[in-house]
Amino acid sequence: MRPQEKFQISGSDTQIPSRGLGTFLPDPGASEPNTVKKAVLDALKTGYRHIDTALRYGDGTGEREVGEAIRESGVPREEIFVVTKLENCFHAPEDVETGMDMSLKNLGLAYGTPIDLYLMHFPYAYQKTENFGTQREVDGKPLVDVELSRAYVTTWKAMEVLVDKCKARLIGVSNFSTPKMEKLLASARIKPAVNQIEVHPHWPQKDLVKFCQNSGVHVTAFGPLGCTPIPALVGRAGPGPLDDNIIFLLGQKYRKSPAQMILCHLICRGISVIPKSVSTKRILENFDCLFEMDAEDFKTIDTLMDEHSNKGVRNLETMSYLGFDNYNELYEEP
């Protein structure tokens, strides 16, 4: 099996690079200034042409550093597939364009240049403060706007207008379950181009991935190596896929690291990947993941959690933090 360098986005003339760089930092305050900028510059120099960021990453700092890196890289803007996301406090239809405009300003790309892909970061919304901050409980947990969280179809309609206004080439979603995708697809004027979700060998999400792909929605895997979310959202205890001995032993055969084996396997599934790293060595290593994998070895990784992924372990968990399971595959929450 040979992984692809790019995937065609259904219903468009756009291709999304299969290998991207994620720029989420679990604790931005613990990182040196310009950490994201340096990582993006390293990635673009290596050959990455797919950069993922979000307004909520460092309250806009991530976007600003991504924009600075793109401008300083010398790589033509049109060669780079830029992804950013609508923050949870901008879900009211009248606020969606404001959120987009903030991201455009932060990124500071060429005037009039649209975002290649704009995602609804989460289907649920937070109660906002006067200046689009998040209202919080005494313990720091965000206050969820339940009514608006159930109205993501209305938020989506406002995002469709961003395409009409040429502020986004494509729009999509992130962290959407199958029930939520079904509801959105039933009413969308512009079909979501992408659903960005947690996918890795220990959480393969086969049913959700199959549903999206059969519906013409491309899947991008965040946390493809077993993500590290903010501490309040960590759902996994114990080792992740990078520590899986079966993957390690298979890697010996190809002289590849566990990370390279995992990324190659996911791309062979038709999924683009955005592993995050600020290490130059790992950025280089993660990019070198396109190689021929024997079908038998692909199946070994593909069935680590059994044939139907019933034993999967999710890293990102919302129940204790928000009071509902955003990822429920049987019915919608909240």
Active-site annotation, residues: 57
User: How far apart, in whole angstroms, are the C-alpha atoms of residue 82 and residue 115?
Assistant: 6
For the stretch 278-282, contacts whose Cβ atoms lie closer than 8 Å and that sit 24 or more positions apart, written own/partner, are: 278/25, 278/31, 278/35, 278/36, 278/38, 278/39, 280/42
User: How far apart, in whole angstroms, are the C-alpha atoms of residue 133 and residue 112?
Assistant: 27
What are the residues whose beta carbons fall under 8 Å from the beta carbon of 307, sequence distance 6 or more?
none
Q: Are the beta carbons of 118 and 100 closer than 8 angstroms?
A: yes
Q: Are the beta carbons of 100 and 303 closer than 8 angstroms?
A: no
Q: Whose CA is closest to 152, among 128, 129, 174, 130?
A: 174
Q: Are the beta carbons of 154 and 118 closer than 8 angstroms?
A: no
Q: Whose CA is closest to 148, among 169, 166, 123?
A: 123
47-58 per-residue burial string, b: 16 or more CB within 10 A, e: under 16 = ebbbbbbbbbbb
Q: Whose CA is closest to 267, among 329, 218, 202?
A: 218
User: Beta-strand (E) ranges in 175-313?
Assistant: 194-198, 218-222, 272-273
